[in-house]
Amino acid sequence: MADWQIDLIKVVFIWVWVLLIAVIMTWVERRASAMMQDRLGPNRAGPFGLLQPLADGIKLFTKEDIIPERARKILFILGPPLFAFPVFSAFAVVPFGDKIVIGGKEIILQVSDVSIGFLYVLALSAIAVFGMVIGGWASNSKYSILGGLRATAQLISYEVPMGLALLTIVLLYGTFSLREIVLQQQGTFLGFLPNWGFFKQPLGFLIFLVAAYAEANRVPFDLPECESELVTGYHTEYGSMRLGLYLFGEYVNLVTLAAITVSLYFGGWGLPYVDMSKYLGPVAYGIASFLVFTLKQAFFLFLFVWVRWTVPRFRYDQLMGLGWKALIPLGLINLFVTALLVQLTI
Amino acid sequence: MDYYFLLFAIMAVGAGIFTITVKDALPSALGLLTVFIALAALYLHLHAPLIAIFQVSIYAGAILVLVVFVIMLLITPDEALETAQKNISYRAMGAILGVYLIALLIIGLKGINQLVAQKSLPEGFGKPSQIGDLFFRKYILHFEISSVLLLVALVAAIYLAKKRA
Amino acid sequence: MPRRPIVKKEYTLGERVYLVEIAKGLRLTWKHFTFNVRASFRKGPHTVPTCWQYPEDRREIAPIFRGAHMLQLNDKGQELCVGCGMCARACPAKCITVKRGKPAEGEEDKYAGKTMCASFEVDMLRCIFCGNCEKACPKGALVLGQDYELAEYEPEKCIYDKERLLANFQRAKAEGRLKPPPKPIPVDAPPPKKKAAAGKAAKASASEKAAKGKAAAPKEAKKKDDKADKAKE
């Protein structure tokens, strides 16, 4: 099989897999949030409500598609895809497993291992911001414009602490490529801890996690979103599948951010002290590494849901104050301390 | 026949023409976004992935977002830019600058025959490590001067913001 | 009343960092989560204590609940409604329509009174479930039962005619959810006649009260007698 065919299969697999995880996330969100609130969540559509996402999808597809009269039609239609497609594409650089050997050919489980690695993800989140801006402006309603503006301001101001946390990662590992970062996280650190980024960079992990919550518009930073629960915000005027694309894009964003957190700070597809490739054959190793990665990713996705239903949301000025006045100085301190430590040990 | 180049070149030129001819502000900004993405794709084709990412994340992701902010804050979707486009002095300035830029392009394209022949690239061309190397060894003075420029911009922004408070 | 002094509490650095509080919150939410996950796997209704799973768990209804209407029969199985139309007069939403009629030749023992209602319609879409009709009925025929699941797919089905109201009663009787008879309202006894020296005003008011008491008492007594008769029958 030619190389491009293998890449095509990987692309299709990742598309389907990410969509599947996003769909399952809607179910997990509703059930887990209900369990935390002393109720049961959807349990009528299929056993334990497992067919509920299907019902939601059918509902969104069959609702009437309304474009407001005074909205700018082309931009209105352009908003949701501009938000959803970059977040789908960002999964291309995520290593979801180590090598797998099929038919004598060794295939790395990553769609493309470019040298720029996670910078690609940052760039794509910058484009996804445009989807929100355009969606808000094209709705041509005062509240949508203001909501879109606030959402955009929040997103771009939290790109800076995220960039600072990622900068310290580059300082530690010397490469942008996510696969190489995961490869460098094998073994142990200080003798007994796994060599994960979390133990080498606890402050950096914290900053990255908070910035990831803000980038994904999740509580406690979901003021742009909850505003639309209060009938303001950039996706007020959207209905049926366009709204579905916005909401879906948010879940896919979550999946991508969880995957990147796992790759950078939690050792990607490797088990902590065990080197699986010694015990398993090549095909089984590939599948096992994929499963380990998915389990870690599932933990972080559950953490997103868990924090959402535990913590109250921030007010807008508290949110921006946290981003600019707390996280950026912390990120800079982290950068200096890490640079000092790296210099002292090399 | 380099189809990749043709596709993105046509996309860039078409989006550029769209940017300068459309009568509304935000579609014009979106046209500029398309130009940046097409340029990034062309940089990729030239084996410069880091420059492509800089183009998207800095130009499209930061500068253009600020432009869009200003548009969103000041221009309602119903307005059009007709008044600015009908102004005679703007048109005259635009014409002069356009002629100047075309002259620059023609002068700049004089040495293009030497670029067409395919050369072999040095090892590690375009990799981030090589660019970092260049920044901190050969071009470190330029790097420091640009950081001072950014500092000046920062200080100016803070001063302007504080003046009103 | 002096107000409590306002104390502005300064947060320590640990509290400002907020992470410990978040961790405590996460622990609490986790406890709820595991408890409810285990509860959701148990069989049987009402496994999660705070969440009633309708329609398997239903709450108990008070006996005086005002739900859907029903036309009652007495112990002999005769219809109590005489078609007087007091309920239609009393209804604030004007949703009851009654037509009085005489019973046919051979069916006089189906009805308790000398007349019957030829048609009796209650429009449930207009009814506000206030219970005025129940209070106004002189025979105690129309009562509001305990049925609250009244949704239909067509609005025509929400206009209950006499058959439906009688069927409501039969269903309630079968389930043992009949409405208990209304409690008699206590009336003051008329003042004794020896208090002639109390004065004219007192006497006037007393006689007013006595008149009112006497006017109410016979009506109540008559109503009680009627209901007692019905209960006896």
Of B27, B50, B61, the CB nearest to A126: B61
Query: A72: which chain B residues are within 8 Å (Cβ-Cβ)?
Result: 24, 26, 77
Where exactly are the structural domains of chain B? 3-121, 127-165
- Using CB atoms, which residue from B30, B60, B78 is nearest to A126? B60
Contact B5, B42 (CB under 8 A): yes
* Whole-number Å distance between alpha carbons of C166 and C72: 7
Distance from C-alpha of C211 to C-alpha of A140, rounded to nearest angstrom: 73
**Closest Cβ opposite residue A116 in set B27, B53, B61:** B53
User: What is the tens place of the pLDDT at every residue in A262-296?
Assistant: 999 998 888 887 777 778 788 888 888 899 999 99
Closest to A75 measured CA to CA, from B61, C165, B27, B35:
B27
Could you tell me which chains touch chain B, where touching means 3 or more CB pairs under 8 A? A
Contact B53 A123 (CB under 8 A): yes
Q: Work out whether strand A188-189 and strand A105-107 pair parallel, antiparallel, or are unpaired.
A: unpaired
Are B27 and A176 inside 8 Å of each other by CB? no
Chains C and A touch (3+ CB pairs under 8 A): yes
C69-175 to CATH, choices 3.30.70.1450, 3.40.50.300, 3.10.20.30, 3.30.70.3270: 3.30.70.3270
Q: Which of A40, A306, A310 sits opposite C40 (nearest CB)?
A: A40
C121: helix, coil or strand?
strand
CB contact under 8 A, B77 and A72: yes
**CA distance readout (Å), A103 to A1, A6, A107, A336, C166:** 9, 12, 10, 48, 78
Q: What is the mean pLDDT of residues C28-37?
A: 90
Q: Which residue has the higher pLDDT, A70 or A125?
A: A125
pLDDT of residue A258: 93
- What does the alpha-carbon distance between residue A197 and residue A165 come to, in Å, rounded to a whole number? 11
| Chain B residues close to A123, C-beta within 8 Å | 53, 56-57, 60-61
Asked whether the beta carbons of A108 and A92 are under 8 A apart, the reply is no
Chain A: residue nearest B49 by CA? A116
- Contacting residues for B57 by C-beta, under 8 A, at least 6 apart: A119, A122, A123, A126
Spatial distance between the Cα atoms of B164 and C9, rounded to a whole number of angstroms: 31
Contact B68 A75 (CB under 8 A): no
Distance CA A304, CA A262 (A): 13
Each residue of B90-126: pLDDT tens digit? 889 989 999 999 999 888 888 776 666 667 777 777 7
- The residue of chain B nearest to residue A74, with distances taken between CA atoms, is B27
The neighbours of chain C, by the rule of 3 or more Cβ pairs under 8 Å, are A
| Residue A29 · residue A216 · CB < 8 Å | no
Residues B45/B4, Cβ–Cβ less than 8 Å:
yes
Please report the pLDDT score of residue C224 as a whole number. 46
Residue-wise burial string across A197-229, b where 16 or more C-beta atoms lie within 10 A, e elsewhere: bbbbbeebbbbbbbbbbbbbbbbbbbbbbebbe
For range A211-220, the mean pLDDT: 86
Architecture of domain B3-121: Up-down Bundle (1.20)
Which residue type occupies A341? L
Q: How far is CA B65 from CA A94, A106, A327, B147, C229, in A?
A: 26, 42, 22, 22, 86
> What pTM does this model have?
0.81
Closest CA to A222 of A342, A89, A334, A311: A311
CA distances (Å), origin A220, targets A164, B158, C31: 21, 28, 21
Q: Which residue has the higher pLDDT, A327 or A46?
A: A327
Partner-chain contact A39 C40, CB within 8 Å? no
Give me the mean pLDDT over the B82-96 stretch: 80
Do residue A310 and residue C26 have CB atoms under 8 angstroms apart?
Answer: yes
Q: Any contact of C with B, at least 3 CB pairs below 8 A?
A: no
Residue among A69, A146, A235, A75 at smallest CA distance from B26: A75
Domain extent listing, chain C: 12-59, 69-175, 196-232
| Residue A1, pLDDT above cutoff 70 | no
pLDDT digits (tens, 9 = 90+) for A297-339: 999 999 999 998 888 888 888 888 888 999 999 999 999 999 9
Distance from CA of A307 to the nearest CA of C (A): 7
Is the distance from CB of A196 to CB of A233 less than 8 angstroms? no
Closest-CA distance of chain A to residue C11, Å: 16
Q: Are A164 and A95 in contact (CB under 8 A)?
A: no
The tens digit of pLDDT for each residue in B18-39 reads: 998 887 888 889 999 999 999 9
C211 C-beta neighbours (distance < 10 Å), count: 11
Q: How far is CA B91 from CA A44, B80, B84, B87, B94, in A?
A: 66, 17, 9, 6, 5
* DSSP structure class, residue C64: T
| Three-state secondary structure call for residue C160 | strand
